[in-house]
Amino acid sequence: MASRLVVSASNPLLQPNHSSQNLFFSTSNLRPNALGCSTLLLRSLVPIPLLCLRARHTPAVAAVSVPSSKPDRANPNAGVMWSARAIKSFAMGELEARKLKYPTTGTEAILMGILVEGTSLAAKFLRANGVGLFKVREDIVNLLGKSDLYFFSPEHPPLTEPGQRALNWAVEEKLKSGKSGEVTTSHLLLGIWSEENSAGHKLLASYGFDDEKARKLAKTADKDFELNYR
């Protein structure tokens, strides 16, 4: 006689059924039932308790875009989107701001995010010029100070005005170029550099980043990565 195991994705509780059978798993017996769950018919082989497995939907927040004060600019319909690496860099920047218990995400946090993501041409350019994550994080604390020990950052620390202008600059520069493709992490880094009074710009300048290096990075700004077959 076959027994049934109902797998539901709504609750984390593992609720044992008080009966047990000799059960054998067969993928050919997997079939949908009227409730939208998968009903698994099991045949006799090894004695195990029959369980009703239910998993709760756990909310997970992930950045799928980068905030813009001009949302009509960076969207698929306008022909401009952020690259996956740029989005991840921004998300990592938010996380770094939270780690330091800062209430906002500024250009300095976005700079850390680029280094945390680490695989973009912008991140490699920074490392090649001696700019590393641990050094940047230490210098940010020295520049902006430590946050209150008992302060807790919001889940998504809002952008500072320089941070928002840096993102807008990246989008505008991509549009001005007239080229197809995405707004890359290099555009994001150059946007930080464009904000001369921001913490991110001051940090970059202290590491020897200048307009000449910015122009060099701008030449490859439309590419976010480079394939290496070696």
Under a CB-based contact definition with an 8 Å cutoff, are residues 187 and 86 in contact? Answer: yes
Residues 41 and 97 in one domain: no
Residues 91 and 40 in one domain: no
Name the residue among 3, 7, 15, 12 with its Cα closest to residue 35: 7
Pairing of strands 30-32, 81-82: unpaired
- Which residue range forms the structural domain that includes residue 23? 3-54
Poorest-pLDDT segment among 40-44, 108-112, 136-140, 159-163:
40-44
Kindly state whether residue 61 falls inside one of the protein's structural domains: no
Residues 47 and 87 in one domain: no
Average pLDDT, the chain: 76
Backbone phi, then psi, for 136, in 5-degree steps?
-60, -45
Pairing of strands 182-183, 81-82: parallel
The residue to which tokens 């060099």 are assigned:
216
Kindly state whether residue 226 falls inside one of the protein's structural domains: no
pLDDT of residue 19: 42
Kindly state whether residue 196 falls inside one of the protein's structural domains: yes
Residues 37 and 91 in one domain: no
What domain count does the chain have?
2
DSSP annotation of 86 reads: H
| Residues 115-141, mean pLDDT to the nearest whole number | 95
Kindly state whether residue 159 falls inside one of the protein's structural domains: yes
Under a CB-based contact definition with an 8 Å cutoff, are residues 122 and 186 in contact? Answer: yes
Q: What angle do CA 102, 154, 224 make, to 5 degrees?
A: 75
Kindly state whether residue 67 falls inside one of the protein's structural domains: no
Pairing of strands 38-54, 81-82: unpaired
Kindly state whether residue 186 falls inside one of the protein's structural domains: yes
Residues 101 and 204 in one domain: yes
Residues 49 and 82 in one domain: no
Provide the whole-model pTM: 0.67
Tens digits of residue pLDDT in 194-228: 999 999 999 999 999 999 999 999 999 998 887 76
Name the residue among 74, 133, 71 with its Cα closest to residue 108: 133
Residues 130 and 204 in one domain: yes
Kindly state whether residue 68 falls inside one of the protein's structural domains: no
Tens digits of residue pLDDT in 58-70: 333 334 567 665 5
Residues 206 and 93 in one domain: yes
pLDDT of residue 75: 53
pLDDT of residue 34: 43
pLDDT of residue 70: 59
Residues 138 and 177 in one domain: yes
| Residues 137-154, mean pLDDT to the nearest whole number | 87
Kindly state whether residue 99 falls inside one of the protein's structural domains: yes
